[in-house]
């Protein structure tokens, strides 16, 4: 099977490219080789790769910057999926598109989670652009799967856990305040890549939630990770209002992987188990990278 992966150098795209490259004919492109917002660039990549399946891991992911860079976010998160869906439809191919927990407003109590039928109401420009991207896929493809994921971390690229590690290693006595009233599920890109591999051999269509099992706050997640890394730290919990950001984030964006479970396809573990495994595999490189940057 020919598989085209966009955003192939990103956190998720790099893990998906490595995993699927073991069994399939993978064409993995970064934004320099394939700009999804540019139809000519999309056409050229399609001529080269002749994809049976396209996995769109490309996105404008700088959540706070989306508040001011609205047009850039729209080009990548809306026009890009539209271009890809149209090109895939012309080939009668399947598109797997990655979306986000930030399509929800997050006002459910933290003991509850969001399933695929819950109403969407994004709070941020990022969430709005990703929701419009979902709509572009559904409007222009008859063979699609949208996987909504959340709070990604992985070996490649930048993420919250790596930032916590870098700051703790720079000065473990310096007090760091971390938000303790936003709930979600830290999700390892390696497990999400396995989930994408699992859905490839199914005919699951529509929207499915795809995150680690269980939930934490950012504060709880940071403490769990640094404990697993055996790195000393001085982190205190704070509330969102003490740490204002340009983009509003949902207080609760815990997703229930209901459709994947009903289809018997979910490969997800608890978020703690995945962090343990992430640390076991990558502790040394993570420390090296954090102390060099």
Ligand X SMILES: NC(=O)c1ccc[n+]([C@@H]2O[C@H](COP(=O)([O-])OP(=O)(O)OC[C@H]3O[C@@H](n4cnc5c(N)ncnc54)[C@H](OP(=O)(O)O)[C@@H]3O)[C@@H](O)[C@H]2O)c1
Q: Which one among 5, 6, 82, 164 touches ligand X, defined by CB under 6 A? A: 6
Annotate each residue in 154-173 with x if it binds ligand X (CB under 6 A) or - if it does not, as one string.
---x----------------
Q: Which one among 37, 55, 105, 212 touches ligand X, defined by CB under 6 A? A: 37
Q: Which one among 4, 95, 98, 251 touches ligand X, defined by CB under 6 A? A: 98
126 flagged as catalytic:
yes
Considering the complex, state which of residue 60 and residue 271 has its C-beta at the smaller distance from ligand X.
60
Q: Which one among 17, 28, 61, 216 touches ligand X, defined by CB under 6 A? A: 61
Quote the CA–CA distance of 131 and 115 in Å, as a whole number: 15
Q: Interface with ligand X by CB under 6 A: which range of 9-17, 88-96, 135-143, 277-285? A: 9-17
Contact 122, 102 (CB under 8 A): yes
Q: Is 249 left (phi over 0), alpha (psi -120 to 50) or beta?
A: beta
What's the sign of the alpha-carbon dihedral 81, 204, 277, 18?
A: negative
User: Is residue 217 involved in binding ligand X (CB under 6 A)?
Assistant: no
Q: Which one among 19, 53, 76, 132 touches ligand X, defined by CB under 6 A? A: 76
The active-site residue out of 60, 102, 114, 126 is: 126
User: Is residue 212 involved in binding ligand X (CB under 6 A)?
Assistant: no
Quote the CA–CA distance of 289 and 153 in Å, as a whole number: 15
Within 8 A by CB and 6+ apart from 280, the residues are: none
User: Is residue 36 involved in binding ligand X (CB under 6 A)?
Assistant: yes
Shortest spacing between CB 69 and ligand X, in angstroms:
11
Q: Interface with ligand X by CB under 6 A: which range of 19-27, 29-37, 87-95, 134-142? A: 29-37
Residue 99 pairs in a beta bridge with 148
User: Is residue 152 involved in binding ligand X (CB under 6 A)?
Assistant: yes
- Smallest Cα–Cα separation from 29: which of 41, 153, 19? 41
The residue number whose beta carbon is nearest to ligand X equals 10
Contacts with ligand X by CB under 6 A: the residue count is: 30
Considering only residues 111 through 150, tell me which ones interact with ligand X, judged by CB under 6 A.
130, 149-150
- Smallest Cα–Cα separation from 232: which of 190, 173, 157, 283? 173
Quote the CA–CA distance of 114 and 293 in Å, as a whole number: 37
Shortest spacing between CB 6 and ligand X, in angstroms:
5
What's the sign of the alpha-carbon dihedral 240, 241, 245, 247?
A: positive
Residue 217 pairs in a beta bridge with 183
Count the neighbouring beta carbons within 10 Å of the beta carbon of residue 119: 8
Shortest spacing between CB 209 and ligand X, in angstroms:
11
User: Is residue 151 involved in binding ligand X (CB under 6 A)?
Assistant: yes
67: exposed, middle or buried (C-beta count within 10 Å: 0-12, 13-18, 19+)? middle
Q: Would you please indicate which residues are annotated as catalytic (active-site) residues?
A: 126
Instruction: Give the interface with ligand X as residue ranges (CB under 6 A).
Output: 6-7, 9-13, 30-32, 34-37, 57-61, 76, 80, 98, 100-101, 130, 149-152, 157
């Amino acid at each position: 099977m020919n598989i085209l992966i966009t955003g192939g150098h990103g956190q998720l795209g790099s893990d998906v490219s490595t995993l699927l490259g073991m069994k399939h004919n993978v064409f993995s492109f970064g934004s320099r080789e394939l700009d999804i917002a540019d139809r000519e660039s999309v056409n050229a990549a399609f001529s080269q790769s002749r994809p049976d399946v396209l996995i769109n891991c490309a996105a404008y992911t700088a959540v706070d910057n989306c508040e001011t860079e609205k047009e850039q976010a729209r080009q990548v998160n809306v026009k890009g999926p539209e271009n890809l869906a149209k090109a895939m439809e012309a080939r009668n191919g399947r598109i797997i598109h990655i979306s986000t927990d930030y399509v929800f407003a997050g006002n459910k109590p933290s003991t509850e989670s969001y399933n695929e039928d819950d109403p969407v109401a994004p709070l941020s420009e990022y969430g709005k652009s990703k929701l419009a991207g979902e709509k572009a896929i559904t409007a222009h493809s008859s063979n699609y799967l949208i996987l909504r994921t959340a709070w990604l971390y992985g070996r490649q690229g930048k993420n919250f856990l790596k930032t916590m590690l870098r700051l703790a290693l720079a000065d473990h006595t310096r007090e760091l305040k971390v938000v303790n009233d936003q709930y979600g599920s830290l999700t390892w890109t390696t497990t999400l890549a396995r989930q994408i591999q699992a859905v490839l051999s199914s005919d699951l269509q529509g929207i499915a939630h795809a995150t680690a099992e269980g939930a934490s706050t950012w504060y709880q997640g940071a403490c769990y990770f640094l404990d697993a890394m055996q790195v000393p730290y001085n982190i205190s919990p704070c509330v969102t209002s003490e740490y204002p950001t340009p983009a509003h984030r949902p207080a609760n964006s815990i997703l229930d992987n209901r459709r994947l479970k009903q289809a018997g396809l979910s490969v997800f573990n608890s978020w703690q188990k995945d962090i343990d495994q992430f640390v076991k595999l990558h502790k040394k490189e993570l420390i090296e990278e954090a102390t060099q940057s």
